[in-house]
Amino acid sequence: MSESTKNKDNLLRRIMSSSNFGILIALIVMVIIFTILKPSYFSKNNILNILVSCSIVGLVAIGETFLMIAGQIDMSSGSISAFSGVFIALLLASGWPLPLALGLTLVVGACIGLANAFLVTKLEVSFFIATLATQSIFRGLAFIICGGKSIGVSHKVFLKIGTTRIFGISLPIIIFLILFTIFAVILMKTRFGRSIYMVGGNANAARLAGIQSKKTVTILFTISGVMAALGGAILAARMNSGQPSASEGLEFDAVTACVLGGVAMSGGIGDMSGAFIGLLIMQGFTNGLAVLNVQSFWQKVAKGLLLIAALTFDYLRKKQRERNALKQMEAARLKKN
């Protein structure tokens, strides 16, 4: 066997043994099924539509991926997004310059993230309860600050954020892909990224390694808040308005995408590439139901079933990891004896 053939075989084995290989196959199968049922599903325009929807959910999924690897979840992301969309619309309607309006909106998102972190790290409230509380608070505030009505946006430069295309690709997609790449590098190639895995995988080991778990979690909640705020601003640009009812269920979609992509609910396991594939499955599935003209309430049922499937796979993966760990311990014991 030639050297090049051996290299190809080794590459194929590495790909097939990858933790993301299974979900990649699931994505391909899903695309084939929807394309058979509706050939227009695989058209260029529809693929771009899926990617645009991925760009908004994906920004939130970036923050959720980091948090989930650290053993946390932010259930307030959708409300932060809606509040931020209304907030920036109000600022622009009041004559604020776009850079200041956008900057202040991101600062507000960061502050909400810090508030979540304070509840979790200082008051030691469960992350689920804490972020459910802020989810309700900021969804309500989104309605209060605009009087329950959507705020129209006429700022031409701001609106171009949602409509501009570069080489046929929408600007929101490009923004998402750039940020996704940056955060993927941070997670996989930096000391901070490694500390996130340690905090979620083994808190005691992280403490012994000198990692300040509470500080790390605070940073992650802040990142999540900023990503949700940016997603809300981009969504407002796409809809030409800030709407308090927007982004409902956004955190649900983001968490489902992460779990589908192999990010463990228990923390310590996952990566950005898996989350990206999970995101494509989630949004591709939602789009496929819409293309097939499935009624909206049945879409909600289907998305709920998809989350149950994702949680089931997460449970099975966890059990498989436990079995593998036991086998390794047993092998090590036998070798020692």
CATH of the domain at 173: 1.10.3470
258 is a domain residue: yes
Q: pLDDT, tens digit, for every residue of 303-315?
A: 888 888 888 887 8
DSSP 152: E
Q: Specify the 3-state DSSP secondary structure of 292.
A: coil
Amino acid at 126: S
Determine contact, residues 225/35, Cβ cutoff 8 Å. Answer: no
Q: In angstroms, rounded to a whole number, what is the distance separating the alpha carbons of residues 39 and 214?
A: 50
314 is a domain residue: yes
DSSP 134: H
Three-class secondary structure assignment of 38-99: CHHHHCHHHHHHHHHHHHHHHHHHHHHHHHHHCCCCCCCHHHHHHHHHHHHHHHHHCCCCHH
DSSP 94: T
Q: What is the pTM of this model?
A: 0.88
For the chain, what is the domain count?
1
Nearest to 249 by CA among 309, 295, 217, 296: 296
Higher pLDDT, 183 or 295: 183
4 is a domain residue: no
pLDDT of residue 167: 86
Q: pLDDT, tens digit, for every residue of 28-86?
A: 999 999 999 999 999 989 999 999 989 999 999 999 999 999 999 999 999 999 999 99
69 is a domain residue: yes
Q: In angstroms, rounded to a whole number, what is the distance separating the alpha carbons of residues 307 and 111?
A: 30
Is pLDDT of 321 > 50?
yes
Is pLDDT of 15 > 60?
no
As a whole number, mean pLDDT of residues 8-16 equals 47
Q: 152 has which bridge partners?
A: 241
12 is a domain residue: no
294 is a domain residue: yes
- By residue count, the chain amounts to 337
Strand ranges, E, within 168-228: 169-170
Strand ranges, E, within the chain: 151-152, 165-166, 169-170, 241-242
16 is a domain residue: no
Q: 242 has which bridge partners?
A: 151
Question: How many Å separate Cα 74 from the centre of its chain?
Answer: 10
Is pLDDT of 111 > 50?
yes
Q: Tell me the residue range of the domain where 101 lies.
A: 22-329
179 is a domain residue: yes
